[in-house]
Chain A
Amino acid sequence: MRTRKIFNIYLILCFIVLSLAACRTGIPREALMLSPESLQDRQLQTRIFETNDEKKLLAAAAAVLQDTGFTIEDSETECGLIVFSRVRDVTDYRDVLQSIALMFIGIYHPNAKTQKVLASLVTKPLGNKRVAVRITFLHIVWDKDNVIMKKERLNDPEIYDAFFSKLSKSVFLIAHDI
């Protein structure tokens, strides 16, 4: 009888906790606010090219991303948009060893297995033979149990510099029909 009562209370508590968790809402206040960093982000992600031909620039960008193993998910040239993605295995043996070592002392440490990088590239004519190219990368990382470990925007300037340096080369090749 007593165990039954405890079980009932336990069940009730479970229900309350579950229902509260299920009905939890709330968008962060700053989610749709322009952050002070937004201009720095824009500068990081944008370069200006001197050309009149927006479509050619888009083609050059598509070629660069294809070269680096991305596939095109969607495109709308009228708005100057191409969306790319790339899925790859990011298993790092050091990471695996670390998680095995930690497992021995009873700590579960998941290691990253799959990474999906999404990129959206937008061109914007500025007039005076200038077109701005803005690219944004974000990535989602899963562990070996397909649990999402990370989902965030990539802010490393090196990634953006590397892309734009490749793009300026590609633009040069296309401009000269090489």
Chain B
Amino acid sequence: MKKISTGILSLIIIVVLTACVASQKNIFEAPESQAALRSIQSRVFDFTDRNRMLRTVIATLQDLGFIIDTADETLGTVSATKLAGYVLRMTVSIRPKGADQMIVRGSVQYNLEMVEDPEPYQQFFLALSKALFLETNVNSMAATPHGTESPAAAKVMKDASKPEITEPRSESLYPKQNTQIHPVAKSWTGIWKVESTSTEGGGIWGLKQDVYIVKSTKASYYKLGGKVKGNNRLEGKLYTKAGSYPFVLSIAADGQSFKGKMYGWGGKTSYLEGTKKNSKKAASPLNIFKPWTGRWEVTRDNRTATWSLKQTDKRVVSVENSSAEIEGLASGDQLEGKIIRTNHKYPFTVRMSSDGLSFYGTTMDYLGRSMQLKGERKE
């Protein structure tokens, strides 16, 4: 009896000890496969400005509830801690990849353990890519809340005769856009007359751009699909019955032509050149001084509304038959304003495409979450 129980006891001790062997691992021994973990923890971004990338990483970590412990611009690293009943430590490093990309790698430690589950990393990179999108398209979403500034401090500042640094703004700010080139500003949307050095690819291409995704329209000779990369590149595929051919195109600065190459049948490279054919809509004389005047079909969060806008100088307001009440200020090709509901005003910023037929931008929902706003000219 005694022997049996001792035997069982020692067996259990062995099982238990082997189960916990992870705790005795060498500190340099990477859990799981090193390569697999690295790929889970890394993402490549089309972004080259190291400092801005680092600042965006910091801002993203702050948004996720972390406080920053340390950052090093030279090394390109940021470490942060989140306390929410548990301890989450995260280190993010960035390094350049080629001339126009960057690799961001993050590693997360939950309490005392390395996180190997891909999902938290996916969530982090999702948050980071959102922030990068805003960083390149809408420079600042940092809004100041209403009336939280202490009146005493505000008074001190107002008494001063234009100090170099003034008081924090207490009114809510609209998201500001910077002058960076917006994907929509060089829209791929339109009818293109394409010439090819081979038998494939030549003819009429009808393209429609939806944020980063470009698809062919009914007017197109070919079925096409692609993604906008960077400011002026389109990478995609041309689908024929014989197969699909990848292509890379770059659009000219005026948005009226593109050049590129396609890896055609049998791996032969053919060169493509396209020129934009002005569609009937664009050919109609648009009032370049009052580009926002007109009726727009506006999509926000899968809901569609019709905005009837009237522009006088810089001021843009909605007119009677508009389904939403809008007021805003236009400057250049962008419009900043508010969507007015009974109780709320939702700020928005949109930028018009170069052909004046669509706009794209961001707005906020009632929880303050940023969401996309798209509009297409109806008349």
Contact = CB atoms under 8 A, between A and B. Distances in A.
A165 B150 contact: yes
Given A126-B176, A164-B149, 8 more contacts: A8-B8, A34-B63, A83-B68, A118-B67, A124-B140, A137-B67, A153-B82, A174-B165
Given A4-B2, A172-B157, A27 B108 contact: yes
Interface string B110-128: 1001010101110110110
A128 interface: yes
B148 to A, nearest CB: 5
A41 B65 contact: yes
Given A32-B124, A32-B127, A126 B20 contact: no
A26 B119 CA distance: 12
Interface residue range, chain A: 35 or more
A8 B5 contact: yes
A31 B85 CA distance: 11
Nearest to A11: B9
Contacts, number: 229
B169 interface: yes
Most buried by B among A23, A32, A176: A32
Contact of A153 (B54, B83, B120, B367): B83
Interface string A26-50: 1111011111101111111111111
Contact of B86 (A28, A51, A79): A28
Interface stretch (B11-19, B230-238, B255-263, B293-301): B11-19
Contact of B73 (A8, A35, A76, A140): A76
Interface residue range, chain B: 35 or more
Nearest to B6: A8
B173 interface: yes
Contact of A57 (B54, B85, B165): B165
Most buried by A among B85, B139, B145: B145
A126 B149 CA distance: 20
Given A25-B113, A43-B144, A36 B367 contact: yes
B142 A151 contact: no
Contact of A53 (B55, B62, B70, B165): B165
Nearest to A43: B145
B83 A38 contact: no
B2 A157 contact: no
B143 A76 contact: no
A19 B169 CA distance: 55
B243 interface: no
Interface string A75-89: 010111101000000
B13 A128 contact: no
Contacts of A53: 164-165
